[in-house]
Amino acid sequence: MLRESQKPDSVFLFIGASSQKIFVYRRDGKGSFDSKDVNIPKDPAISMIYFKFDQKDGKSTAAYSFDSARWDTFPDLTIPVDTNTLVGFAQSSGSTTETVKARMVDVSPTKSP
């Protein structure tokens, strides 16, 4: 995955999908990069994939669902929500000839006035 940023070493969490897999990329505050993926079941009843970021106990975790009722997460790939943090979503057709662009969103904590 290529990512451009004003701060190339920013902590980030990314979840995306191709036609065969759901994948998550994470870089922590120490610059360590990790990723995981899971296969998408070949079930004709699956027509949608839902993504979200759960924030709990000061950490953000990527989650996915095929029916928006039962969510699966990647509990080993979390980032703290108390630092400058970027999260992003993307979907790919699976074609290697097309560039996939993710929209990253800054979810850094804000200070109350």
Considering Cα of 77, then 4, then 23, then 66, what sign does the dihedral take? positive
Q: How far apart are CA 57 and CA 34, in angstroms?
A: 21
* 3 phi/psi in degrees, rounded to 5: -145, 130
Q: For 28, list phi and psi in degrees, rounded to 5.
A: -90, 180
CA distance 92 to 84: 27
For the whole model, what pTM was predicted?
0.71
The residue among 102, 112, 93 whose CA lies nearest residue 14 is 102
Quick: pLDDT tens for 70-107. 999 999 998 887 766 666 666 566 666 666 555 566 66
